[in-house]
Amino acid sequence: QRKFGAGGPFNANTPGPYRESAAVRGAGKVHSEEFKECVATMAQYVFDKFGKFPGTVPSIFILTYLQAHHLDLEFYDKHFTAGAYLETHARHHELWHRA
């Protein structure tokens, strides 16, 4: 209910940064019981095999994973409202990849 109810990120009526916020937010689907059982089974396997979860890295790393990449500004300009990325993102190539 928290994710799909009033104010939740997957509720079509929750405002958002997308140009089509209602369509994007409303596209989320509640996971089936079969899917939840599958995920739980896989997680239990990892725990049983490695004695912890996640199995191959220290658990504390889960909070610090990140992805670094160049933003596709044209994508954001097309699908998001103004302010979806920072000025530093807009100027990234100018600031970091000077010829």
10-residue averages of pLDDT along the chain (99 residues): 91 94 94 95 95 86 67 93 88 84
> What Rg value do the Cα atoms of the chain yield, rounded?
19
Look at residue 64 in the predicted model and tell me its pLDDT.
61
Look at residue 68 in the predicted model and tell me its pLDDT.
65
Q: How many CB atoms lie within 10 A of CB 45?
A: 12
Helix (H, G, I), strand (E, B) or coil at 30: coil
Look at residue 2 in the predicted model and tell me its pLDDT.
87
> Position 18: which residue type?
Y
Phi, psi for residue 80 in degrees, rounded to 5 = -125, 160
Residues 25 and 14 sit within 8 Å (Cβ to Cβ): yes
What's the pTM value of the predicted model, to 2 decimals? 0.56
